Amino acid sequence: MKPIIIYFLLFFSISSFGQVSHERMKITLEKYMEQSTIQTDSSFKIVDLNRGKISAPKNCINTRTGTKDSDKGKLKISELLIHYDIGFSAGTFIHSGMKNDCIWYREIVLNGNEMIVGLQKTEYKTTLVVTVYGDLDTMCFPANFRAKVKNENDIKTLLDIAVSYEAKL
């Protein structure tokens, strides 16, 4: 009877309780980044974030937590909670100096926006962090998005939202 209990405990200690492996998350990120153009879902709605706008799933709830020097808030989409902070005082959630803190990192231009994307892993969570520097032809404030991700769908949703960001000039 003891070997069964040991196998049971071993199985649950190495399983990720519904989370996708980090290797699969990296593959999802690579495939997403390889796209020549990113088309957000036609069922998405436009969400005004004051300094800019995004396209988000229709069930997205935007809660502004507000500050005077940056636009800060949360986007709730089912179980996914995306934190955002946009503006000069927001700084950047991720930059080249943080590359070694990531298990996956990329500087890229998607849909005309210069972006840095990083996947960070701690003992208890995996976080996808995106800083959008904006259109290469204009100077705009950074837009930061961050969420604890559990699967490929969470990754795609956050990236779709970040890539759709359009600064108000």
- What are the extents of the domains in the chain? 18-167
Sign of the four-CA dihedral 125, 119, 158, 88: positive
More confident site: 125 or 169: 125
Half-sphere exposure of 18 (CA within 13 A, CB side): 4
Dump pLDDT digits (tens) for 96-142: 999 999 999 999 988 888 899 999 998 889 999 999 986 656 667 88
User: Which of these, 103, 134, 129, 100, lies nearest to 117 by C-alpha position?
Assistant: 129
**Is the pLDDT at 9 greater than 60, yes or no?**
no
Listed in sequence order, the residues at least 6 apart from 149 whose beta carbon sits closer than 8 Å to its beta carbon are: 25, 80, 119, 126, 127, 128, 155, 158
Within 10 A of 66 (CB to CB), how many other CB atoms are there? 10
For residue 29, the model assigns a pLDDT of 92
Dump pLDDT digits (tens) for 29-82: 999 988 866 766 777 899 988 888 999 999 999 999 877 777 899 999 999 999
Helices (H) and strands (E) in the chain, counts: 3, 10
Output the CA–CA distances (angstroms, integers) from residue 159 to 6, 26, 32, 47, 165, in the order listed.
40, 13, 8, 15, 10
For residue 137, the model assigns a pLDDT of 61
pTM value is: 0.81
**Is the pLDDT at 85 greater than 80, yes or no?**
yes
* Residue 152 confidence class, pLDDT cut points 50, 70, 90: very high
Output the CA–CA distances (angstroms, integers) from residue 72 to 14, 68, 91, 149, 159, in the order listed.
36, 9, 12, 20, 18
Looking at domain 18-167, its CATH class is alpha beta
CA 45 to chain CA centroid, Å, is: 18
More confident site: 91 or 82: 82
For residue 112, the model assigns a pLDDT of 80
* Residue 5 confidence class, pLDDT cut points 50, 70, 90: very low
